[in-house]
A and B are shown apart, each in its own frame.
Chain A
Amino acid sequence: MASLGIHNIRKIYPNGVEVLKGINLDIADGEFLILVGGSGCGKSTLLNMIAGLEPVTEGEITIGGKRVNDLPPKDRDIAMVFQSYALYPSMSVRQNIAFGLSLRKVPKAEQEATIARVAKLLQIEPLLDRKPAQLSGGQRQRVAMGRALAREPQIFLFDEPLSNLDAKLRVEMRSEIKLLHKRLGITTVYVTHDQIEAMTLGDKIAVMKDGVVQQFGTPDEIYNRPVNTFVAGFMGSPPMNLIPATLAINDGKLCAEVTVGPTGSKRVHLPLFGFDTSTLDTLTSTGSSVLLGLRPEHLTDTGRSNGMTANLTVPVDLAEPTGADTLIFITLGGARCIARLHPTAVAGRDEVELVVDTSAAVVFDRHTQEAIAFARV
């Protein structure tokens, strides 16, 4: 077990493409780090560099406080699950799991015990004597997990280990990984595209885009205090609404002026509660146009109002029942927005009255797309 430090890491592939542009991440011993970001943003590359499989162009990687830039993979004491499973095609499942153990000279009896333990955990006991070609995608993925879990390394590296499982197995495996991490307390770096995996598993989340970390923080920070519109749009499903608005003072209170409905003929002033007005003073004086970030659950029906809310009547463009909630599509500030309502609040109506929890809003600069003010502290 060890802490992991990534300091000013850059990666330029031999073909001249700069894939990572100065990454800084520090996680403590036993922490669970989630890497999320669009396809091709460099997540696998970063994982490979931590593993020692790709040389570091610039910067420093430390494991347990010790610089490991020049250490080969086998001496870094890591275990990794690859995106493409990478099972050895000529070996049976049993041999796949045992390969790393036998190279590390683990005694035969201990190997057997480990294989039995891992196979039970991952429900692959009946598959032990099969070759990878005779397994389904999900089974291969579990074997790949098993190969990593057979060892107790300093650091686990997982590259989208659950992406090919069906929904049920995925939920099962997710809690299995969480339990395992709780029990073993091994430092873990985990790449995923799945919001729920990111929110439930991570102690820390790093959101990446084009080789740059956009935000590095706890799941709560990432979800409630996104530093820019990319992070706001990336985490959460459906994503945070970004409503074009103008800041103004109305009745002595700080408000966001927003047009309502597809035609945009109606204008309302939403009072912004809980904002530190001093940060916004300079902006309001110029009538500055901003993006008001509001999550769908903060645009909801009257049943859930509290003291810090504003009311708003909007025409419904489209309603999408999802079971527990109904999502409605509305137009605010000319942009398509989504509100999350109780199913009974919508049924057959053209217009609904929404309660807007502006105390959960984030104000973004419309040009730089950076967050300029948060309501909650």
Chain B
Amino acid sequence: MNRAGRFLLYAALVSTAFYALAPMWVMLSTSLKTLDEIREGSLIAAPHAPTIEPWLKAWGTACSGVRCEGLKPFFLNSLLMTIPAVLISTLVGALNGYALTHWRFRGSDFLFTALLVGCFIPFQVVLLPMARLLGAVGISDSVFGLIFVHVVYGLAFTTLFFRNYYIGVPGELVKAARVDGAGFFTIFQRILLPISGPIFMVCVIWQFTQIWNDFLFGVVFAGSDSQPVTVALNNLVRTSTGVKEYNVDMAAAIIAALPTLLVYIVAGKYFVRGLTAGAVKG
């Protein structure tokens, strides 16, 4: 490629990156400014005298609805809900994928198709039936209910991921293990799980992002003290007593987004690797 072409390419890349990062920058700098500085200065200028006051307030004392304890309790709610939901849905998805590929049974293809349809069912459709179900089982308005909803809704995706990964694992591998005397779970645990690293990462990142960022299920199914951080953030920003504290709002928004960012930074390379990797041969 000639120099002009290369220059154009870099210019395009840099401007795209700038465009994507600009909002992040505005949020970060605003969250570190005092209210006075926000009113006087420009939107994109760096803070003169950075302060972490807005962060402390967003985390510990800001009012969200009637509670004035900041995001902290809701952040913990989100963790309590997301971690089990991610792990359970991923593990069950792995088992499903394994059964659907290596223990074919009558109707397994139909079941898989049905599960695929599950990926396309909009959230709104399941709201009412799910509310009835949770009520009937007695776990509505609780973190358990939320976990249950997310596990069920996520299964379609995790099963799809694992099924497509395990279909590349040679069937003779499972047959060899059966001849060696291993059963369904032993084969899963000793043969398949150890080679599932990449797809596990994909699943965990996908599910974590989905569940942590969910708003609709949170707002509908959570009780007042099991609300996830997304719902709390909305309430915090909309609570309109006194002046509008943009710096606190920005800090709260970043806090709410932080775990997803972290997951991508820590596990992002596995995500790409897992999406492109074929299964292990031989």
Contacts and interface: CB of A to CB of B under 8 A. Distances in A.
Given A83-B172, A88-B190, A99-B180, 4 more contacts: A74-B178, A80-B176, A89-B195, A103-B180
B230 to A, nearest CB: 38
Nearest to A88: B191
A53 interface: yes
A103 B175 contact: no
Given A84-B282, A89-B282, A100-B180, A51 B195 contact: no
Given A90-B194, A132-B282, A74 B173 contact: no
Nearest to B180: A100
A103 B173 CA distance: 16
Q: Kindly state the interface size class of chain B when it binds its partner.
A: 20 to 34
Contacts of B282: 84-85, 87, 89, 132-133, 140
B172 A84 contact: yes
Interface in B142-195: 170, 172-173, 175-183, 186, 190-191, 194-195
A86 B178 contact: no
B175 A53 contact: yes
Closest 4 CB pairs of A and B: A90-B194, A100-B180, A86-B176, A86-B172
Contacts of A83: 172
A86 B170 contact: yes
A73 interface: yes
Secondary structure at the B interface, as helix, strand, loop or mixed, is helix
Contacts of A88: 173, 176-177, 190-191
Given A53-B178, A78-B179, A90 B172 contact: no
B68 interface: no
Contact of B172 (A78, A82, A100, A132): A82
A104 interface: yes
A103 B194 contact: no
8 contacts: A73-B178, A74-B179, A83-B172, A88-B177, A89-B281, A90-B194, A99-B177, A133-B280
A299 to B, nearest CB: 43
Contacts of A51: 175, 179
A113 B57 CA distance: 68
Interface string B248-282: 00000000000000000000000000000000111
A48 interface: yes
B179 A80 contact: yes
Nearest to A83: B172
Interface of A: 14, 48, 51, 53, 72-74, 78-80, 82-91, 99-100, 103-104, 132-133, 140, 147
Interface of B: 104, 170, 172-173, 175-183, 186, 190-191, 194-195, 280-282
Nearest to A133: B282
Contacts of B195: 89-90
B35 to A, nearest CB: 57
Given A85-B282, A132-B282, A133-B282, A90 B178 contact: no
Contacts of A73: 175, 178-179
B179 A53 contact: yes
B177 A48 contact: no
A99 to B, nearest CB: 5
A221 B220 CA distance: 79
Nearest to B282: A132
Given A88-B191, A90-B194, A79 B179 contact: yes
Contacts of B104: 14
Contacts of B281: 89
A14 B104 CA distance: 10
Contacts of B175: 48, 51, 53, 73, 80, 82, 86
A86 B182 CA distance: 14
B173 A86 contact: yes
B173 to A, nearest CB: 5
B165 to A, nearest CB: 13
Contacts of A14: 104
A155 to B, nearest CB: 11
Contacts of A133: 280, 282
A162 B281 CA distance: 19
A48 B179 CA distance: 10
Contacts of A90: 191, 194-195
A218 B282 CA distance: 35
Contacts of A100: 179-181
B195 to A, nearest CB: 5
Contacts of B183: 74
A47 to B, nearest CB: 10
A14 to B, nearest CB: 8
B112 to A, nearest CB: 15
A99 B174 CA distance: 13
A87 B183 CA distance: 17
A103 B179 contact: no
A51 B172 CA distance: 12
A336 B258 CA distance: 78
Among B178, B180, B186, B190, the most chain A Cβ lie within 10 Å of the Cβ of: B180
Contacts of A87: 176, 282
A71 to B, nearest CB: 12
Contacts of A80: 175-176, 179
Among A78, A88, A91, the most chain B Cβ lie within 10 Å of the Cβ of: A88
Contacts of A99: 177, 180, 182, 190
A73 B281 CA distance: 23
A133 B178 CA distance: 22
B21 to A, nearest CB: 40
Contacts of A84: 170, 172, 282
Contacts of A86: 170, 172-173, 175-176
